[in-house]
Amino acid sequence: MKHGKRYLESVKVYDRQKLYDPAEGLETVLATAKAKFDETVEAHIRLGVDPRHADQQVRGAVVLPNGTGKTVRVLVFAKGDKAKEALDAGADFVGDDDLVKKIQTENWFGFDVCVATPDMMGTVGRIGRVLGPKGLMPNPKSGTVTFDIAKAIADIKAGKVEYRVDKTAIVHVPIGKVSFGVEKLNENLSTLMDAIIKAKPAAAKGTYIKSLVIATTMGPGVKFNGLKF
């Protein structure tokens, strides 16, 4: 793969073979950020699980103490009093059949997170095939299928992120922006790692956190010592 000038400059500021402790590692990650915009910082965690087995799935959600630095647009499927509750709580889009039709006919996805009350899941299920592949399908495990709409919206707006192991046994999660600085990023990373460690399946054997790599949007991956969490 051919890399650009900024990427090649970033690679020079750290040891690609070293396993960094969190604070030093995050300082190094920030030093590799050469883009002219406020890059997102992402954690990529390889787990010692076999995602092909249902009893080794790792999935959940956690509220990062310092948020993600991103403005999140929330769509809520609800009706009646719950629709009003959603609007009062700050949802960006609220509806039921009208939103399903808009997504179906216009291929519209102008939102980042989808929440639904349990009684609306039959309706939402009609567009499950398009929401699912985009990671937008409401799910009880991530707290996006609930009657407590106000709390769900508040958590999402405050910096709630979902984590889910992919088919290669890796979890990819944003932990903030370069502008956050080391301290805030470290707090977010620690909170995320605590949640993932607590979510360890009973069926998982051997080393659970196999590797942890942190990278900015345009920067190279910096290896962290996953045993420090």
Q: What is the rounded distance in angstroms from the CA atom of residue 210 to the CA atom of residue 45?
A: 8
How confident is residue 102, by pLDDT bands cut at 50, 70 and 90? very high
Percent of the chain with pLDDT over 70: 93
Q: What is the rounded distance in angstroms from the CA atom of residue 47 to the CA atom of residue 18?
A: 19
Q: Quick: pLDDT tens for 166-180.
A: 999 999 999 999 999
Question: In the predicted model, what is the mean pLDDT of residues 63-92?
Answer: 95
- Residue in 147, 89, 76 with CA at minimum distance from that of residue 115: 76
3-state secondary structure of 63: strand
Question: In the predicted model, what is the mean pLDDT of residues 143-159?
Answer: 94
Q: What is the rounded distance in angstroms from the CA atom of residue 72 to the CA atom of residue 101?
A: 22
CA angle 181, 187, 192 (to 5 degrees): 120
